[in-house]
Amino acid sequence: MTLCVSDVFLKGLVPDDPSLVTRTEIVRPAMSGHNSLLVGQIGDWTWDAVTEVCGTDVLRARNPAGAPTYLSFYYYRIRGSRAFHLRTPTFGDRLHVSSQLFDFGRESVLTLHRIGRSGNGPAGFTAEEFYRSDDEGSLYVENYNRWISRAYGSSSNRELVRSAPADFRRHLLPLLPDRYSPRPLCHRAKSVHTFRPDHPDGDRHLPAGGVHHARYPVDITRDLNAVGLLYFAAYFSIVDRALLQCWRSLGRSDRAFLDRVVVDQQLCYLANADSDCVIDASSQRFEIAGDGEHELFDVVLRDRDRVLAVSTLRLLIP
């Protein structure tokens, strides 16, 4: 079968909603598998959507002082189901993507992606529909991004400051209802290093084993992007590596790891790292009282005195 260009890639604004971008993609080897490739691809779709809607060439954005500024990832969440999760898409699958942007302040933007294989539903969606996530045949991906630049005169990734481009326009974007804001979730991740909520009885999430530590030297051949920052999708790979080592410590097989079903993963990016960084990745498993179907893992990435990222994963018990 021969695929024409229009079959492989279609993208455009929805005329009656200037904050919505839709696209159709064919899954290729460079965007699928037991890795973070699809995570990276979805992140590229976020940058594409912001470019389309906000009048800024995200790939070449500069702040008012003329310095490069980057649309960094601060919060990334992926929700799926047994029927369709992050590692379900494979070669040749056709994905239908709706990307809705929301005004999140002068230096930030929030993008919600609904990714499905049917293409039969409406292109647009409300925040209520997205967070209800009724369709088990869709992935629901949330990206909260902040504009950043390196501090003046610095070449270190430890010195990043907020810095929006001069031509970043957000007047066409709707506001996200406060009840859906990820800011409280990110504050919790930053303060107590987990997304697991507190419970009045104090024993809803039960530690199942100790904290497992692993050292990960940043790999300059694969973890850095073109501007020398630790690539946002590399964080997911490092989290998966820590999860695998914890998984093996539980006596589970590599085959079971490849077959894992992650129905919800949250990751908050708190800092970036330089190329000589050796990351300490700590991981711990939690059982959920009264729930025999799911388990939780917390993974925290640290660079000496700094927390780089916090991730909580909800998996189906193998």
Residue 313 burial (CB count, 10 A): 23
Q: What are the angstrom distances between the C-alpha of 293 and each of 60, 151, 288, 296?
A: 46, 47, 9, 11
The average pLDDT across 35-43 equals: 97
pLDDT score for 201: 65
Model pTM? 0.94
R_g over Cα of the chain: 19
pLDDT score for 153: 77
The average pLDDT across 105-109 equals: 96
Label residue 1 by pLDDT band (50, 70, 90). Answer: very low
Q: Is the pLDDT score of 5 beyond 50? A: no
Q: Do 271 and 291 meet the contact criterion of CB atoms below 8 Å apart?
A: no
* 157, 180, 203 - which closes a domain: 180
Q: Is the pLDDT score of 40 beyond 90? A: yes
Label residue 20 by pLDDT band (50, 70, 90). Answer: very high
Label residue 12 by pLDDT band (50, 70, 90). Answer: low
Asked if 220 and 278 sit in the same domain, the reply is yes
Long-range residue pairs from 223-226, CB within 8 A, at least 24 positions apart, any chain: 224/275
* 128, 153, 180 - which closes a domain: 180
The one-character DSSP state at 39 is H
pLDDT score for 13: 58
Asked if 139 and 229 sit in the same domain, the reply is no
How many domains would you assign to the chain? 2
pLDDT score for 3: 39
Phi, psi of 317 (to 5 degrees): -65, 125
Q: What is the CATH number of the domain that holds 111?
A: 3.10.129.10
The average pLDDT across 121-136 equals: 88
What is the C-alpha to C-alpha distance for residues 96 and 22, in angstroms, rounded to an integer? 8
Asked if 272 and 288 sit in the same domain, the reply is yes
Q: Do 285 and 168 meet the contact criterion of CB atoms below 8 Å apart?
A: no
Asked if 143 and 11 sit in the same domain, the reply is yes
